[in-house]
Structure 1
């Protein structure tokens, strides 16, 4: 039986794919759980229209991400944290710290898009990645400095 997947299914395909499966699997598992619909002409047309809309939305998101990446190019942000002996931080620098520092520069970024190569627990300059879209990423400099105590 041919069905159109309405969700990504590992081992079978992705949203919008037309796959052949056994009739019992389709009728007893995929269709009742909303994972697939029968591959009729009407359903195929409907899914193609949904895919077109999704592609347009993804293109808009990608353009926004590319504009954000242009803003982020060459940016150096500074984060101040309490420091113990030998320049070692109490805790570590988090994605929220980076987002806050970027917000102070007028750049809005989701904290989930900030990627650290490793935990930052020392004072120094680091290169981190901001990935606002799965196809767009930009590296920025993070300068970790000791917090001044008065």
Structure 2
């Protein structure tokens, strides 16, 4: 009789292992604690094939997602500067201020890339000047772009 059996983990909190991993544990621990409490299930050949099939699909999706993110990053890096025209008043101050919405609309108009408001990091801009904004494409992927505010008169 085998001392260890293979199980598939159902929860992420078992010994710092992630969900879906196949682990060998002692038979008594598996049948008396892990399986009855729903933490793991017994790994049969069909379940192992099923798990491998879904892990392959997840890897392919992750690769396709990373390729798409790299394409978006390269398109955003091609933007050398964003130019926004604003009406000015006294002392070179613009009416209102430049918000994330203005930048999102500019990027969508010229590149057809849709960003969310939380992906744009901008300081408070209410005068005619050149400043730098940060566009967060992914968690650790940030692109910096020049923002030029140009006045116009009506």
1:110-145 deviations in Å (ceiling 9; x for gaps): 3177252xx5102441131331x457x351314152
Q: In proportion to residue count, which structure has more strand?
A: 2
C-alpha distance in structure 1 between counterparts of 2:14 and 2:83, whole Å: 42
Structure with greater Cα Rg: 2
Number of matched residues?
Answer: 139
Q: Which residue of 1 aligns with 2:132?
A: 126
Give the Cα separation in 2 of the matches to 1:27 and 1:50.
Answer: 25
CA distance in 2, matches of 1:107, 1:45: 41
Aligned partner of 1:44 in structure 2 is: 48
Q: Superposed, which structure 2 residues align to 1:1-150 within 5 Å? A: 3-6=7-10, 8-9=12-13, 12-19=16-23, 23-24=32-33, 26-28=35-37, 31=38, 37-41=40-44, 42-75=46-79, 76-79=81-84, 87=93, 90=96, 93-94=99-100, 96-111=101-116, 114-116=119-121, 119-122=122-125, 123=127, 124-131=130-137, 133=138, 137-143=141-147, 145=149, 150=154
1: distance between equivalents of 2:96 and 2:9? 49
Q: CA RMSD in A?
A: 3.8
Distance 1:99 1:26, change over 3 A: farther
Structure 1: any 5+ residue segments left out of the alignment? none
* Superposition misfits of 4+ residues, deviation over 6 angstroms: 81-86
